[in-house]
Structure 1
Amino acid sequence: MTGALTFRPVTAETVSDFEKLFAAKGSPNWCWCMAWRATPAEIKDSKSPARREQILGRIADGVPVGLLAYDGAEPVAWVSVAPKSSFRNLGGTEDEDSVWSLTCMFVPRARRGAGLSARLIEAAADYARQYGARLLEAYPVDPASPSYRHMGFVAAFERLGFTPAGMAGSRRHVMHRSL
């Protein structure tokens, strides 16, 4: 990796890169980052092909879904960040006005350990701020958590200025960063 990452929102122009990254081994292509976005009607079909179509529909409609990290022209990581109102059942603050949520990160195994998560979190904060967010909310877990690890780890968010704001369920910590 060159170290000079760029970050681009997933849009109609970058959707093929999003699909390419999600085709990678170990990617969240079983979910397509729809677990927290799906409406009650969409939940009825939660298999991968339906989830893919659901997220692609949102992208085609111009709904913010997140950012891709690029090393040169190659998409190398993903962070799901969007207005909190576009998600369901996350927990955390009930005031969704000007609140954005960071719900998922994906870094392929071969690229882990190079600080990409911190860079994804910072890029997500910058992106949310650019669109008028006053607060970024995240839902990380402790390193020993058997689930929700794709949402990041508490210590990484603490290092980047997030503060505890409660729990969402028994594993997910709610953390805030004022923007």
Structure 2
Amino acid sequence: MSTEVRPADASRFEDVAAVLNPGGNDRACWCLSYRLAARDNGALLGERRADWVRDLCGHQPAPGVLAYVDGQVAGWCGVSPRDRYARLVRSRTIRQLDDRPVWSVVCFVVRPGYRRRGVTHALLRGAVEYAREQGAPAIEGYPVDPGGERIQQAAAYVGTTSVFEAAGFRRVERTQAVSDRRPRWLMRLDLNGPG
């Protein structure tokens, strides 16, 4: 099994759509829930959501990365500078740690048939590398700590602490956010030395 991770640029928009909205649902998230204020997110429906993401893919930095397994699109990871995520910037449950211009990993989606095959790990490694290439000083995630238990797939869209730890991230602080009634952590990986 060969896995490659690539930025979700304009040339890969159809692959983004295949992962984020395979059924053509008018209310599909499209990984916009952190990017938009709640009111704006709720008002943006159908093709307008797709158009918004298509536009994001046409600009740098790309809004995320895609994993390909043996040439087939297998998954998505939403990763961008933290200040691009309006709801994260205003969050009362996940506070901003400091004023460094960090990047944030907010979402993982792995297509059926590719789950439990290491795609999430590959996506996170690819997100780290992409952030590094774009000059990010550090990258953060806000994964759930399942406490050794299985959690619902929908609750794990933010990733799990073990996936982030395997990629070298360290736990910085427990947030006030929860997923499936389990705690989420602010985890960080410095990309250019201490700071």
Using structure 1 for the length normalisation, give the TM-score: 0.84
Moved over 6 A (4+): none
Please name the residue that 1:5 is paired with. Answer: 3
Please name the residue that 1:107 is paired with. Answer: 110
**Contact in 2 for aligned 1:81/1:102 (Cα 8 Å):** yes
Gaps of 5+ in 1: none
Number of residue-to-residue matches in the alignment: 175
Question: In the superposition, relative to structure 1, how do residues 44 and 114 fare at CA in structure 2: closer, same or farther (>3 Å)?
Answer: closer
Separation in 2, partners of 1:141, 1:46: 27
- How far is the alpha carbon of 1:69 from its aligned partner? 0.9
**Contact in 1 for aligned 2:9/2:59 (Cα 8 Å):** no
Q: Which moved more, 1:42-51 or 1:4-13?
A: 42-51
Query: What pairs with 1:18-97 in structure 2 (closer than 5 Å)?
Result: 18-24=16-22, 30-39=28-37, 42-90=40-88, 91-95=94-98, 97=100
Separation in 1, partners of 2:13, 2:96: 30
Matched to 1:107, the amino acid is V
Measured against aligned partners, the alpha-carbon deviations of 1:55-110 in whole angstroms (never above 9, x if no partner) come to 22222344520011112432111111111111123234354543100000111132
Match of 1:169 among 171, 176, 179: 176
Q: Which moved more, 1:57-66 or 1:124-133?
A: 57-66
Q: Which moved more, 1:97-106 or 1:164-173?
A: 164-173
Across the aligned residues of Structure 1 and Structure 2, the Cα RMSD in angstroms comes to: 2.4
Please name the residue that 2:120 is paired with. Answer: 117
Aligned-partner SS, 1:42? helix
Using structure 2 for the length normalisation, give the TM-score: 0.78
**Contact in 2 for aligned 1:32/1:48 (Cα 8 Å):** no
**Contact in 1 for aligned 2:79/2:106 (Cα 8 Å):** yes
Measured against aligned partners, the alpha-carbon deviations of 1:102-130 in whole angstroms (never above 9, x if no partner) come to 00011113211111111111111111001
Question: Are 1:149 and 2:156 an aligned pair?
Answer: yes
Instruction: Calculate percent identity across the aligned residue pairs.
Output: 26
